[in-house]
Amino acid sequence: MIAIIDYGMGNLHSVSKAVERLGCEAVVTADPKAILSADAAILPGVGAFGDAMSLMRDMKLDAVVKEYAAGGKPLLGICLGMQLLFTESEEHGRHEGLNLLPGRVERFRGDFKVPHMGWNRLSFCRKSPLFDGLEEGYVYFVHSYHAKPERADDLLAATDYHQPVTAIVGRDNVFGMQFHPEKSGELGMRLLGNFLKLSVSAAQTSAHKG
């Protein structure tokens, strides 16, 4: 079972439908027990960083997500959900994030259109199970802020929008995608599918331990 974490700010329906199209059971939930028992968890998000963290803290879901990540099962942040994985954001003031990945979320600065909206090509930066069997291609972005990982090894894929832009991050069992894989055609769905394959391994490991 794949838990899609509902803290009130996400494309829950589109993500759950994409997971189901890929052959997995999806449950949209804010229940800590359901989240912690899931084979994988997805943290979606649309909106402002500070509002999202405030809602998560009010619902005690920040602690649940950290506990989930510490348990070693696959966790994926999408769009704002990816940004929440980092230490802090400057969106409408300084706001602390989940700090699962060290780094900072900053607004695009320059004489170009913001938000960054449209199809941009991914460049894979290092090997990852997310990229198994895949070639670089185009995915769909909509964002005004971008993440700057503190550790170079956490950057798995980048794109270019007047500057290098973090597109996919990951360390151990924690991953993030700045774009919307469920809205990014075949490549996006295959990236999401590779993430879901990690949940199968996690479930088998858990069953073996049991």
Q: Which residues are catalytic?
A: 79, 180, 182
Nearest 5°: CA angle at 152, between 43 and 183? 35
Residues 6+ apart with CB under 8 A from 51: 9
- Cα(25)–Cα(30) distance, integer angstroms: 16
CB neighbours (10 Å) of residue 189?
16
**Is there a contact between 50 and 66 (Cβ–Cβ < 8 Å)?**
no
| CA-atom Rg of the chain in angstroms | 16
* Burial class (CB within 10 angstroms; exposed 0-12, middle 13-18, buried 19+) of 150: exposed
Query: Strand 95-96 relative to strand 86-89: parallel, antiparallel, unpaired?
Result: antiparallel
